Structure 1
């Protein structure tokens, strides 16, 4: 499948990306891909090993005469976000990604593409097999479960990697290089809430909110797009005066993707149904007007459905339903604060990523991101204080540190010079409001000098994900020339790597 990918340029990179598209690899299901890559490495005679968590390392010795160059680590994650349109059945653990080219961009049909971070992985593999490339010692580090928990990086073995320079290939903007990122943490809320049978005169209604764009919960959080959980809770709040009680709720599938759809079942007095339908219609118009020019596809639908019959499907009590809706209505969501030190950069945000209610069991998973660990802790504490009021339990999981920018990085100076020479302009130096693995890796390997760059990807974490083909060629060119340039540096001179260009990198990052 996806044979057309091998006709794209650069062919070695796209051939590997075809393998990634044809090998299912959602978070937690990377084993088949790891085995495939190990067989590939064996075929080239490349050494490979795994750490205790399962992260994969493939090594290639330096080209003859370049043994004294500093070791370079090419780093990316193997897993991809699994998102499909609701009307498109796709089993991400079994089905390949079906790709197509449209107007110079590569898309997937109705699912995420996996360019995040498949193109970075494919580029690292193509570098490893490039027999004509001049290079020092190379390590390719492929981590697991980045999209679901940062598990691979958080559990990476210490004292395992040998390189001194790390090139993270997980950025999504051409003409930019990243030297810092936000840290984050998952905030998990659980509760068992009281239920009561349907009352005489109550009917069941199905409420849905669909058609939003979704996107990356860090990179796209400031763009004003709709969050399906936030908006459907707003609708539920508006229906409270009509006597609505929640039966169940399902919104969002991943804590790091802006939720595009949310669905609820309500118990409502029959004589309030027409008023509720009118209110929902009015709210649809209001919300569409608010999102005009940003997120145009919102659709609200309220219709009768089969009444729950099993005791396990009873609606919440009126009191519990009101408390839950009100708590969700005021829960932190979206941009909390913009950075003062880095104008234009989001400092702190929160995504109400996954919300569910079934048989009285409530579950919420939010992803907090911040350039300040103290702000992450504060939002987690606000969740705890808020949801304790309805008897819920709150915990924080998968916390990871941010990546502190180093504008004076010698590696950055080297990259900026090469970018200007090859492309005729300086790259923008950026800090990203997303969870690159560099912060975690730098904590485990503080000697590493790191940058992150990549091709132009849009719509990551949603079925609108796409990559600009010309930017992949540009990315490949930069990666090759940087690897070759680093091969000319001796290990003992690493501290002054790029010193002749250091004045290009001493200012604050642009935003």
Structure 2
């Protein structure tokens, strides 16, 4: 097993879900200090490491989306892919951190920017204010080998809430459940035909003319396509199982939400998924993920969504459209954790990165991604810096199916080493 994979295995045993990654922060700070790197940690827990006179900054985030059994991870390798049993793996973005650890073992004169809480709204990146010295930043958060990312979507989380009240219900009582769907990343996987558990549940209730909703708990994370959704309902007619939907009759006779019918209609009418395709880039242009719906015991309803678009105007349009939609159902709406799109930019640096990718993989392609990369936020803070993003092949991030191709990790690391050398030689010539 390579040193990078060994480092990654170490990381998998240190819990680092978003918002609760202090143990990993402490580990990484100690790791860097032991290898002679200068260390700074800011108020939002971003980590900045440097040694010597660096000409390149490597950037990644150190939190992960915890799904299933995570952060308790038991990894295994199958046909060249590393996976975790019943859990998200955290290769997004832990494999990048493992590469950085290997470079620190080698004593490379580099800057490293390790950002906090990327997976819950690019929180760390939004507050970065270190005195970065390098003219170039290489982000290591992309998920397809041999591709150089030079642009990304902007996004915003849109939440809707309202207070309902409970009234007497009638008829049969059922638990209606959609469980164990595959899930996926709400950006890069939104066009892959992955079913949303919330939409499957909503369509079943709508088609069976269920109007009495006692409770609902659906979805896992704002940036994950929902894999699970459960509702307690009352119905005048009998309900039965269908594909993906399991129905269980209950003996309870609970009260129901007075506006439960409107909530079910809202789920039915919500346009989850891709709203527009970017033909030039070959990726979604605008999308929205209906991520989480919950109702508490006092009748408080909360809906959480994440919208993405490849430019600011379209992000504003989908935001206003969603706001108006929820308003029609009496919800109070908030826009949270907005981050900018990274406009595709070809530069001498992206060309250099592309050449090194070509030399290792025998092919290269400049791309934009329908997901948030921290480059967009950081580029606004460091306008003179040039950016590119690469990474090993990772499939189904933000889900319990997450896997990383180990050969791709090694080859991508070879590209990183060559980029480091080429940038250093270029700076010496200048």
TM-score (normalised: structure 1): 0.81
Counterpart check, 1:215 vs 2:184: yes
Counterpart check, 1:82 vs 2:66: yes
Counterpart check, 1:144 vs 2:111: no
RMSD: 1.6
Counterpart check, 1:315 vs 2:256: yes
Structure 1 stretches of 4+ moved >3 Å? none
Q: Secondary structure at the match of 1:482?
A: helix
The correspondence for 2:249, drawn from 282, 288, 304, is 304
| Structure 2 partner of 1:35 | 26
| Structure 1 partner of 2:349 | 411
Q: Displacement of 1:179 after TM fit?
A: 0.5
CA contact (8 A) 1:248 1:358 kept: yes
1:2-54 deviations in Å (ceiling 9; x for gaps) = xxxxxx22x2x122212210100000011111111111122112110112211
1:198-243 deviations in Å (ceiling 9; x for gaps) = 34xx232100012321111111111111011111111111122xx5
Higher normalized strand content (fraction of residues)? 2
The 5 A counterparts of 1:36-51 are 36-51=27-42
Counterpart check, 1:205 vs 2:150: no
Q: Secondary structure at the match of 2:39?
A: strand
Q: 2-side partners of 1:52 and 1:172: how far apart?
A: 29
| Structure 2 partner of 1:121 | 97
How many residue pairs are counted as aligned between the two chains?
Answer: 429
Q: 2-side partners of 1:212 and 1:129: how far apart?
A: 41
Counterpart check, 1:435 vs 2:402: no
| Structure 2 partner of 1:378 | 317
Gaps of 5+ in 2: none
Q: 2-side partners of 1:113 and 1:31: how far apart?
A: 18
Q: Displacement of 1:421 after TM fit?
A: 2.8
Q: Secondary structure at the match of 2:316?
A: helix
Q: Displacement of 1:381 after TM fit?
A: 1.6
Q: Secondary structure at the match of 2:100?
A: helix
| Structure 2 partner of 1:267 | 234
Q: 2-side partners of 1:54 and 1:381: how far apart?
A: 33
The correspondence for 2:163, drawn from 182, 185, 192, is 192
Q: 1-side partners of 2:27 and 2:56: how far apart?
A: 23
| Structure 1 partner of 2:48 | 57
CA 1:492–1:248 in structure 2 vs 1: closer, same or farther (change >3 Å)?
farther
1:315-334 deviations in Å (ceiling 9; x for gaps) = 112xx111111122112310
| Structure 2 partner of 1:172 | 143
Q: Secondary structure at the match of 2:384?
A: coil
Deviates most, 180-189 or 38-47: 38-47
Bigger Rg over Cα: 1
CA contact (8 A) 2:292 2:304 kept: yes
Gaps of 5+ in 1: 1-7, 63-69, 85-89, 285-298, 494-511
| Structure 1 partner of 2:331 | 392
Q: Displacement of 1:345 after TM fit?
A: 1.5
CA contact (8 A) 1:405 1:431 kept: yes
CA contact (8 A) 2:55 2:427 kept: no
CA 1:148–1:443 in structure 2 vs 1: closer, same or farther (change >3 Å)?
same
| Structure 1 partner of 2:296 | 358
Q: 2-side partners of 1:197 and 1:412: how far apart?
A: 63
Higher normalized helix content (fraction of residues)? 1
| Structure 2 partner of 1:500 | none
